[in-house]
């Protein structure tokens, strides 16, 4: 069974049940709606737009898009890129691509024009579907990317002359499945690495990866038909989509929320009766800060049905979960570890029954194997730090068109993650840091995540990133970039005094008060910070302060 079969099963069994809801609380909708576009369109408030789609129409729209692509020459094995913000069209387009036997290639919505061009060429894409937010970026490179490549505009009014209109091209197409034979061994998708460590690499997955992800997610979080999943992160990333796969497998409703403000999250949970919410660390911190300050009152919302809050994409501070449980003592909590190379979250997870182990990323996920190895490639003893490796049905096939990178990452079926970890006496795995982010200072290994976790315990700190900076004597020193909470102040002396709670060798040598940049999946952009605060720039910053 592939995920195509799962969609068609839901359409047959629950044709009139709601599959997807899109909520845009920030602005009214301006798109042109066309033939049987959506079952229900509402504007309940001046600045609160909502629309929904049933499983039956979801499947029909995927079929129509598949048939329209095939009429234009797209066939099994071709690649079709998706460059869209989260919207209700996103998933029907994704499934329409898969129904042709082609590979779906989601693109990061932050990509600049040259990055879009690069990724389209690296993945050898035959078509690009893009939204209204990207007209300018596509137009900048249209002469390059339009050669032998189909361009499709999925944005309603204002279709540029160099593209075909998604609504027009699907309007007259058959709503019946094209019935292209697919197995779990067929190629399904190319995802791109998050880009926090350089230019993105293309990650090739088979259908097996996608179906295994569905089973992993439902096994971990027990989605039933009655659950409602609130999806906020971008669908181009494996994290959001693979968590939604639990809704796909159970035939339950999911809500796509366009906005991350705390009141938007609570309002969506309340109005849509959401039971499962996946947050990134910054969003959870924003919610807690808003409740602490009194700007957000949980009593104003219907939240009693919310059963599970889980976080992934980055290490989760223990202090954050402690604060969360003070407000929501009955919430289940889980954290997930994964990479796009292992089809997103789930190869390691904490488990809702293991909240006493907050701080750990958990144990091997459903259907996964895990080992931690040293530089000699042999398993390390419990308590020792080594590189985390995972093995299972969700490991990528390869880095597409990059044999050297593939050989460095996959050995005997094991994916070498590049993350440093250790295992405790109970078999729980703790993430220490990225291998390339480890700071070697005076011969000592410093793991920035450990220092960051400690600093987040200071009352005035909202976010923090620790990086290594060059030093003539020690080789590298630890520098802490600190973002303060709104309305709070702190001095370098105060931070240094707080850091006396750490061993001397772990204490940051430099304190920099600045914004901590994160990518759309919540990961700290440390290469950007290292570029910003190189040795000479650091001196300049200190002179100006």
Give the domain CATH number at 452.
3.30.300.30
Write down which residue in 221, 243, 278 finishes a domain.
221
Q: What is the pLDDT of residue 211?
A: 96
Residue 401 placed within a domain: no
| 453 band by pLDDT with thresholds 50, 70 and 90 | confident
Classify residue 44: in a domain, yes or no.
Answer: yes
Q: Is residue 231 part of a domain?
A: no
Residue 26 confidence (pLDDT):
66
Q: Quick check: pTM over 0.85?
A: no
Q: Are 382 and 424 in contact (CB under 8 A)?
A: yes
Q: Tokens standing for 526?
A: 């440390």
- The last residue of one of the domains, among 221, 245, 273, is 221
Concatenated DSSP letters of 190-252 = EEE--STTSS--EEEEEHHHHHHHHHHHHHHH---TT-EEEE-S-TTSHHHHHHHHHHHHHT-
Sheet containing 461-471: give its strands across: 461-471, 475-484, 510-513
Q: Which of 221, 243, 265 is the last residue of a domain?
A: 221
Strands 332-339 and 344-349: antiparallel
Which residues are paired to 419 by β-bridges? Answer: 434
The β-bridge partners of 339 are 344
Residue 328 has pLDDT above 50, yes or no: yes
419 inside domain: no
Q: What's the pLDDT band for 336 if we cut at 50, 70, 90?
A: confident
pLDDT score, position 435? 65
Instruction: Tell me the residue range of the domain where 105 lies.
Output: 3-221
Each residue's pLDDT tens digit, 454-482 = 898 898 999 999 988 887 667 788 999 99
User: Does residue 364 fall inside a structural domain?
Assistant: no
pLDDT the model gives residue 90: 96
Question: Residue 517 in contact with residue 531, Cβ under 8 Å?
Answer: no
For 374-382, what is the mean pLDDT? Answer: 93
Per the domain annotation, does 415 fall within a domain?
no
- Looking at the predicted structure, is the pLDDT value of residue 537 above 90? no
Q: What percent of the chain has pLDDT over 90?
A: 65
CATH number, domain of 129, equals 3.40.50.12780
Number of domains in the chain: 2
Q: To the nearest whole number, what is the mean pLDDT of the chain?
A: 88
pLDDT tens profile 47-90: 668 899 999 999 999 999 999 999 999 999 999 999 999 999 99
* 214 found inside a domain: yes
> pLDDT, tens digit, for every residue of 154-183?
987 889 999 999 999 999 899 999 999 999
Between 66 and 338, the more confident residue is 66
Residue 509 lies in a domain: yes
- pLDDT in the model for residue 267: 95
Q: Could you tell me which residue, 336 or 152, shows the higher pLDDT? A: 152
């Amino acid at each position: 069974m592939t995920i195509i079969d799962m969609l068609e099963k839901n359409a047959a069994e629950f044709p009139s049940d709601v599959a997807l809801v899109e909520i845009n609380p920030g602005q009214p909708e301006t798109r042109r709606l066309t033939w049987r576009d959506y079952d229900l369109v509402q504007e309940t408030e001046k600045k609160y737009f909502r629309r929904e789609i049933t499983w039956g129409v979801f499947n029909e729209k995927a079929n129509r898009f598949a048939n329209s692509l095939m009429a234009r020459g797209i066939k099994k094995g071709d690649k079709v890129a998706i460059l869209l913000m989260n919207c209700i069209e996103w998933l029907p387009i994704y499934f329409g691509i898969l129904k042709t036997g082609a590979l779906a290639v989601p693109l990061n919505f932050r990509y600049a024009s040259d990055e879009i061009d690069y990724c389209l060429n690296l993945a050898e894409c035959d078509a690009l579907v893009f939204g209204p937010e990207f007209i300018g970026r596509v137009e900048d490179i249209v002469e390059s990317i339009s050669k032998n490549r189909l361009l499709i505009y999925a944005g309603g009014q204002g279709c540029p002359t160099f593209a075909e209109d998604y609504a027009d091209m699907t309007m007259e197409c058959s709503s019946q499945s094209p019935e292209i034979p697919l197995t779990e061994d067929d190629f399904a998708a190319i995802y791109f690495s998050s880009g926090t460590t350089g230019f993105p690499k293309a990650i090739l997955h088979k259908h097996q990866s996608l179906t295994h992800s569905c089973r992993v997610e439902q096994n971990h979080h027990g989605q039933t038909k009655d659950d409602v999943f609130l999806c906020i992160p971008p669908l181009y990333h494996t994290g959001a989509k693979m968590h939604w796969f639990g809704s796909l497998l159970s035939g339950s409703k999911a809500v796509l929320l366009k906005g991350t403000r705390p009141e938007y999250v609570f309002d969506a949970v309340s109005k849509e009766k959401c039971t499962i919410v996946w947050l990134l660390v910054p969003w959870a911190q924003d919610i807690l800060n808003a409740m602490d300050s009194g700007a957000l009152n949980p009593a104003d919302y219907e939240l009693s049905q919310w059963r599970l809050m889980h976080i992934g994409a980055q290490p989760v501070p223990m202090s954050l979960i402690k604060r969360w449980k003070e407000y929501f003592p009955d919430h289940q909590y889980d954290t997930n570890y994964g990479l796009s190379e292992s089809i997103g979250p789930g190869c390691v997870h904490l488990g809702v029954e293991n909240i006493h182990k907050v701080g750990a990323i958990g144990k091997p996920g459903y259907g996964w194997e895990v080992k931690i190895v040293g530089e000699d490639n042999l398993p390390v003893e419990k308590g020792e730090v080594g590189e985390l490796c995972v093995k299972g049905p969700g490991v990528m096939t390869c880095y597409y068109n990059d044999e050297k990178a593939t050989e460095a990452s996959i050995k005997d079926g094991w994916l070498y993650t590049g993350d440093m970890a250790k295992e405790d006496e109970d078999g729980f795995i703790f993430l220490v840091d990225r291998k390339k982010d480890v700071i070697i200072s005076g011969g000592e290994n410093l793991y920035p995540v450990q220092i960051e976790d400690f600093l987040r315990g200071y009352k005035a700190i909202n976010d923090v990133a620790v990086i290594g900076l060059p030093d003539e004597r020690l080789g590298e020193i630890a520098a802490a970039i600190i973002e303060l909470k709104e309305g709070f102040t702190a001095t370098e002396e105060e931070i240094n005094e707080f850091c006396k709670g750490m061993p001397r060798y772990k204490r940051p040598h430099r304190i920099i008060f600045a914004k901590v940049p994160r990518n759309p999946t919540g990961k700290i952009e440390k290469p950007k910070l290292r570029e910003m605060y190189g040795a000479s720039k650091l001196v300049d910053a200190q002179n100006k302060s």
